[in-house]
Amino acid sequence: MIWSNVIGTGGYLPATVRSNDDLSRMVDTSDSWIYERTGIKTRRIAAPEETASSMAEIASREAIARAGIDPQSIDMIIVATGTPDRVYPSTACLLQQRLGIRNGVGFDVQAACSGAIFAVSIADQYIKTGFCKTVLVVGSEICSRIVDWNDRATCILFGDGAGAVLLTASDQPGILSTHIHSDGSYEDLLYCPNPQVAIDAQKDEPGVINMRGNEVFKVAVNTLGRIVDETLAANGLQQNAIDWLVPHQANTRIIAATAKKLGMTMDQVILTLETQGNTSSASLLLAFHEGVRDGRIQPGQTILMEAFGAGFTWGSALIKY
């Protein structure tokens, strides 16, 4: 049997830090409200010249260096992003160019905050079936460019960054299972219009994130609880088989509910929310990278990744590291 093994991780965060106090000078909010309701204290903001592909390149180069592989051996690049450099070419093609790779294939996945899980799931299918040997998965987002900086309900949440993971074929267990879902009937609760290609030009909506946060919150908690059950059942595992929860970083209260469902303490959760905010499809890859880099995640351990986002989309990946 062929498995997908993690051989390298990488991450990139832009230099500029925007604190809750900075935001309280922009909108009617406070550090205490934001921290208590979300767990966020600071987030990073990309410089004007940075793009999803430029950030993806830095995260990818780190993953490639940590894996110690020749970039030319990468035969598929999947970039998850809701903030692509261009409508086309895909950010994955732009990344391919930046990495100097001219073989294989690159394409983007758009599943909002669940994008990294969707991309890992696709990569795993191609590796397991023998069509690809080494796949680079990246989540890269410049959320700051699609946030309404006058909307206190959303601008406090998001940040910019990129995370990368390299997967390769092996005869040893790696990705144990992936589970991805969507239900498009929730469009109105969380969406970002594309003003260039408006569905209804009369609406004249700006291209910023619109979210009914409290309603999203409730669906997210319930749905992530179900995906935990689905993942454990598919692998015939009990809660105590999971060493680390690596969640999409949207809100510490949502993450705490998932940890509770798994019978885990917050010490078994890789949290980056406090200093990074919600970086959408980049967030769980950045968290995974942090856990690997600082040595908390050790070879042989079992990691549950999960995410929930606009669509709604949601999913999980169970990984033997």
Which residues 141-160 are close enough to bind ligand UT7 by CB under 6 A?
Answer: 152-153, 156
Least distance in Å: CB of 193 to ligand UT7?
Answer: 17
Residue 113 bears catalytic tag:
yes
Q: Hunting for tokens 């409290």 — which residue is that?
A: 214
Alpha helices in 68-159 (DSSP H): 91-98, 115-128, 152-155
Dihedral angle of Cα 26, 312, 249, 125, to the nearest 10 degrees = -140
Which residues 291-320 are close enough to bind ligand UT7 by CB under 6 A?
Answer: 308-309
Residue 155 bears catalytic tag:
no
Nearer to ligand UT7, 29 or 276 (CB): 29
Q: How many Cβ atoms sit within 10 Å of the Cβ of residue 33?
A: 14
Q: Using the rule CB under 6 A, which residue among 5, 9, 38, 272 binds ligand UT7? A: 38
Query: What CA–CA distances, in Å, run from 199 to 39, 211, 291?
Result: 35, 18, 41
Q: Which of 5, 93, 113, 155 is catalytic?
A: 113
Q: Which of 93, 251, 278, 289 is catalytic?
A: 278
Which residues 177-236 are close enough to bind ligand UT7 by CB under 6 A?
Answer: 213-214, 216-217, 220
From 52-60, 100-108, 136-144, 249-257, span contacting ligand UT7 (CB under 6 A):
249-257
Annotate each residue in 109-128 with x if it binds ligand UT7 (CB under 6 A) or - if it does not, as one string.
Answer: ----x---------------
259 binds ligand UT7 (CB under 6 A): no
Supply 279's token pair: 């970086």
Nearest partner of 315 among 191, 213, 190, 180, judged by Cα: 180
37 binds ligand UT7 (CB under 6 A): yes
Alpha helices in 39-159 (DSSP H): 52-67, 91-98, 115-128, 152-155
Query: Which residues are paired to 19 by β-bridges?
Result: 42
Q: Residues in contact with ligand UT7, total (CB under 6 A)?
A: 20
Helix/strand/coil percentages in the chain, nearest 5: 40, 25, 35
From 61-69, 81-89, 247-255, 258-266, span contacting ligand UT7 (CB under 6 A):
247-255
Which residues bind to ligand UT7, rule: CB under 6 A? 29, 33-34, 37-38, 113, 152-153, 156, 213-214, 216-217, 220, 250-251, 254, 278, 308-309
